[in-house]
Amino acid sequence: MKVEIWSDVVCPWCFVGKRRFEQALEQFEHAGDVEVVWRSFQLDPGAAPAGGLTASENLARKYGMSVAQAAARHAQMEELGRREGLDFHFDRARPGNTTDAHRLIQAAREQGRADAVEERLMRGYFAEGMDLADREVLARAAEEAGLTGARAAFTEDRFAEAVQADLARAAALGLHGVPAFVIGGKYLVSGAQHPDRILEALRRAWADDEARAPAVP
């Protein structure tokens, strides 16, 4: 059974959603038969490679709030992250365009390393202040997660095309935010839902697949 996850590496709720999905999958009776496919999504596709703003300044500008209000929201998110076992440091994070990061994840899909690269880039951005505009930094991080030939992701057209294909499919599905989990090609779980909610969708999709399966003579 396929689970497709649309996500962006600068989305804190996507990191929370990743953890909650992993918790649900640990409880799912057929976890070994689940294929997880990471799909590209961009919260801000028009973002500059590196805007120079802090995460709080960027949030304040985007939603018309004060920097202090944005920082308070980030403090709340950091606390929530700690409860999920995540190390958020919004004071280090520097927002930027995520196209190159998604190209690396697309390349990692071909090598079966997409989950590891997704994890490494999210941790790099939220905990380490990784510069999303520095291709060398991104490539080294992806290689640490097991991707070989990482730099080819920035030059080979098929990876850019795969990113655009994922974005187009998200638009066709009416996805306006992430994380978004499409389970068994049928059930959509939007947002970083509680693991029990994700587990319920996994079991329902599996039951539907079994109901459609032809009887064995």
Residue 49: pLDDT band (50, 70, 90) is confident
- Pull the structure tokens for residue 36: 């997880």
Helices (H) and strands (E) in the chain, counts: 8, 4
Q: How far is it, in rounded angstroms, from Cα 194 to Cα 183? A: 15
**What pLDDT is stored for residue 209 in this prediction?**
78
CB within 8 A of 198, min separation 6: which ones? 20, 21, 24, 181, 189
- Could you report the per-residue pLDDT of 91-116, keeping only the tens digit for each? 999 999 999 999 999 999 999 999 99
Position 216 scores a pLDDT of 40
pLDDT, tens only, 148-206: 999 999 999 999 999 999 999 999 999 999 999 999 999 999 999 999 999 999 999 99
How far is it, in rounded angstroms, from Cα 25 to Cα 189? Answer: 14
Instruction: Compute the distance between CA of residue 57 and CA of residue 45 in angstroms, rounded to an integer.
Output: 18
Residue partners of 35: CB distance under 8 A and separation at least 6: 1, 2, 3
pLDDT score recorded for residue 208: 92
CATH class of 2-212: alpha beta
β-bridge partners, 5: 38, 181
Could you check whether the bond before residue 179 is cis, i.e. omega within 30 degrees of 0?
Answer: yes
- The gap between the terminal CA atoms of the chain, to the nearest Å, is 23
Integer Cα distance of 145 and 104 in angstroms: 11
Res 43: pLDDT? 95
Average pLDDT, the chain: 95
